[in-house]
Structure 1
Amino acid sequence: MKWISTLMAVAGLSLVVAGTAAAESNLDKVKSSGELRIGTEGTYAPFTYHEASGALVGFDVEIGQAIAKRLGVEAKFQEGKWDGLIAGLDADRYDTVINQVGITEERKKKYDFSEPYIASKAVLIVKSDNEEVKTFADLKGKKSAQSLTSNFGKLAEKNGAELVGTDGFDQSIQLVLQGRADATINDSLSFLDFKKHKPDAPVKIAAQEDNADFSGIIIRKNEPELLAAINKALEEIKADGTYKAIADKYFGQDVSN
């Protein structure tokens, strides 16, 4: 009987250890480490980019910092190229990706999203003197500069474009300006920010999608505590004016709806 009791005690201890490990796999782990590890591009103005001093700045950077503050931890950013950014969650390189990640049914099968915090529209960008590409359908047989795994890349491909792979918006717009691509489908907010800083750049919006796309903060599945904490933090920064102040700084308006 003594060995049975010993086995039961060991089994009970194992359950406790396993339960503790599971609990520490999400929100508790973040809080005990004192940091929220955030994956981001760092090349996608105005959401996440480097200013002249070299500092990482942007709308998503400040949103990430505000959320981390509400969780009682520091935001620790880790940069990577878009095409491998979300996969970094699977490798546990970070806890979340805050990089204007579009909420799609395909992604929701594998990951969880926060409540939407950005609403934007896909726009078709071409050189100012381009009269051939006036609609998304006109991309058929044309070269479109895109991040290959992005929603924009899939939209370009759906319309028959030949994709020219890029690391993000900055490279895409440069390829259009250089004539190495006929167009790029990208985010309306990014384009407006680009034109704000470079009003004389010879590019224009040829077409715009009617419906808005929504972005959310993406995390691994089965981390309900962390997801709830992020949603609560988003709710708080919207309620206390923090979100509006950040949005006004980068866009001059609320971009959540």
Structure 2
Amino acid sequence: MRLPSARLALPALLLLTALAACGEEPSLAPKGAASSEPAPQVSGRTINVGPDQDRITTPKVDAIAAKVPAAIAEDGALTVGFSAEGAAPLVFAATDDTTLIGVETDIAHLVADVLGLKVDAQTSSWENLFLAARSGKYEIVFNNVTVTEERKDIYDFATYRVDQLGWQVIDSSPIRRIDKPADIAGLRVSVGSGTNQEKILLDWDKQNRAAGLKPVEIQYYEKYGDVLLALKSGRVQAYFGPNPTIAYNIAVSGGSRIVGTASGAGPGLQGLIAAMTKKDNGLIEPVAEALNEVIENGSYAKVLDRWGLANEAVPESRINPPGLPRQAG
């Protein structure tokens, strides 16, 4: 999630078939984009990838809305930052190539409903999401952001999903399991730059080097679609990334499998995905209360279910919980 773009690609729906073998660019159109294509199915559920989302809504709660700082509430909108690179089922473009859809957008809309605000959706590169939140340009970010101890120095967080990472390989790969650092010694691995999974991967590689094992060869790609092509061609042997995106790609397109999962906070701590705001801007408390309201009233569960992510539900939203530990050195 790094490439600045006015458009959101749909890499989880890439058709990595004969097109790549013929040297043509793989289609970025999702199944369902054309009338002749069936809508994608995940966990036995048909996924609506059209612009008419008929989103799940929830009523305004005056007592919570009253806690939103006046400077944020005065225009009647909540300026929300999303990544411009796009990754289904998190945040991606509908079939009109314009409307933002996905679990992150749906949860942002639920929170805005409780606060009595409209969502003003903005997109940028992954790195600029943090810069824009820090400057106050974006009042909040909903984009699969993991709580880390370093990020807590600068931002406030309100949790809303479990953070699971996955290891993806192609179906024909001899790799059966990746559970520990030694399992990746000497492998060619792709990971997103500036992500918490990169930090975990670098730590694993450091442990391997200290143990006298072969170093991992890390390759970086700007788009998940490029990762998939690299896997298919053998340029990389495994990809370490957000489990929801990998699972969605496998369910819709096939051709690969998950050989291991890991907490986004590293060993010993369950990682958590959270809404992110500028530190001490006064918004995180009502956001956490709004999240707890939708968890309690059931609309949150409906949103996760429609995107096949019911297994990532949390029982409550927490403000600034323990996150991925600081990196030594």
From 285, 301, 317, the equivalent of 1:228 is 285
Asked if 2 retains the 8 angstrom alpha-carbon contact of 1:85 and 1:97, the reply is: yes
For residues 112-132 of structure 1, give each alpha carbon's deviation from its aligned partner in whole angstroms, at most 9, with x where no partner exists: 101x21013222111222225
CA RMSD of aligned residues (A): 2.1
Cα distance in 2 for partners of 1:88, 1:166 equals 23
Q: Which amino acid aligns with 1:206?
A: V
Matched, 1:30 2:72: yes
Counterparts of residues 98-109 of structure 1 (less than 5 Å): 98-109=142-153
Counterparts of residues 1-257 of structure 1 (less than 5 Å): 27-42=69-84, 43-54=86-97, 55-114=99-158, 116-132=159-175, 134-135=177-178, 136-137=180-181, 138-160=183-205, 161-198=216-253, 200-201=254-255, 203-209=256-262, 212-224=270-282, 226-251=283-308, 253=310, 255-257=312-314
Does the C-alpha gap of structure 1 residues 72 and 205 become closer, same or farther in structure 2, counting only changes over 3 Å? Answer: same
Q: How many residues get paired?
A: 228
Cα distance in 2 for partners of 1:83, 1:143 equals 24
1:168 is displaced (CA, Å) by 5.0
Cα distance in 2 for partners of 1:134, 1:255 equals 22
1:167 is displaced (CA, Å) by 3.2
Asked if 1 retains the 8 angstrom alpha-carbon contact of 2:90 and 2:244, the reply is: no
| SS of equivalent residue, structure 2 residue 120 | strand
For residues 174-218 of structure 1, give each alpha carbon's deviation from its aligned partner in whole angstroms, at most 9, with x where no partner exists: 4323323221111222222112211x32x1212222664211101
TM-score (norm 2): 0.64
Higher mean displacement: 234-243 or 160-169: 160-169
Asked if 2 retains the 8 angstrom alpha-carbon contact of 1:126 and 1:133, the reply is: no
Which residue of structure 1 lines up, in the alignment, with residue 36 of structure 2? Answer: none
| SS of equivalent residue, structure 2 residue 136 | coil
For residues 84-137 of structure 1, give each alpha carbon's deviation from its aligned partner in whole angstroms, at most 9, with x where no partner exists: 3212212332111101111111111211101x2101322211122222574242
Cα distance in 1 for partners of 2:114, 2:217 equals 44
| SS of equivalent residue, structure 2 residue 231 | helix
% identical aligned pairs: 20
Cα distance in 1 for partners of 2:109, 2:243 equals 24
Does the C-alpha gap of structure 1 residues 110 and 168 become closer, same or farther in structure 2, counting only changes over 3 Å? Answer: farther
1:252 is displaced (CA, Å) by 5.5
Q: Which amino acid aligns with 2:287?
A: I
Asked if 1 retains the 8 angstrom alpha-carbon contact of 2:134 and 2:154, the reply is: no
Which residue of structure 1 lines up, in the alignment, with residue 325 of structure 2? Answer: none
Cα distance in 1 for partners of 2:220, 2:123 equals 19
Cα distance in 2 for partners of 1:163, 1:91 equals 32
Gaps of 5+ in 1: 1-25
Asked if 1 retains the 8 angstrom alpha-carbon contact of 2:91 and 2:101, the reply is: yes
| SS of equivalent residue, structure 1 residue 100 | coil
Asked if 2 retains the 8 angstrom alpha-carbon contact of 1:101 and 1:215, the reply is: yes
Which has more radius of gyration? Answer: 1
Cα distance in 1 for partners of 2:297, 2:221 equals 38
TM-score (norm 1): 0.81
Asked if 1 retains the 8 angstrom alpha-carbon contact of 2:162 and 2:272, the reply is: yes
Higher mean displacement: 171-180 or 44-53: 171-180
**Structure having the larger proportion of residues in helix:** 1
